Structure 1
């Protein structure tokens, strides 16, 4: 009978000890899950931060590229203007028909066209215009 009485007295203690163990395990599992979630969120945050950094670097490269091109555009127009401003025959306006004729030999067809257009707009010397037209038609 004493054994039965002792069993009855120890049963609530065993039950309470089991409850404490079970709660301890539940708390440990919850803490483990929380740590896993924190780790997962940390990885996600790091990936997003890296993606944002890469996107910002790409955007910066594009802005610098565009900015550089803005400076190159006026420069290229200026260079083109200088190229087109160069007349093939230096001192043309002071030259006679014979002097101009003597300097046509080293010119390309495009340069001869340029000379012809200028001659037609300015001096309109028929003999020189005919000579220039002949060279253009003959391809030099």
Structure 2
């Protein structure tokens, strides 16, 4: 017997809560150098938001919305984590020496950046990729 689920309210609320969690994760990520947070906590929040979408819908819907191989996300994240301190070594500085400066962005103007943010971005991508790979592997029934 095929039961039809009627989760319209749950699915609608999931989209709103997903957006709120995702924006909060970006705030935690960007404020990670001055307050508690950073790439690890931001990555866990993004993975939690994706898990909420997975629960409200199903694996096939999540894969159609976000057709990403999360193992490749892990690889990109680890590349950022490896390349950030390597840049300092290639420039003749001690390992993990960070650099900062101002970057001009068209919509935002001058934005102060720091290479520690690139490392945190790598951590965030590695956490998202690892968490989602584990969850999707456990959730597969094929």
User: Do both share a fold (TM > 0.5)?
Assistant: no
TM-score by length of 1: 0.27
Greater share of helix? 1
TM-score by length of 2: 0.26
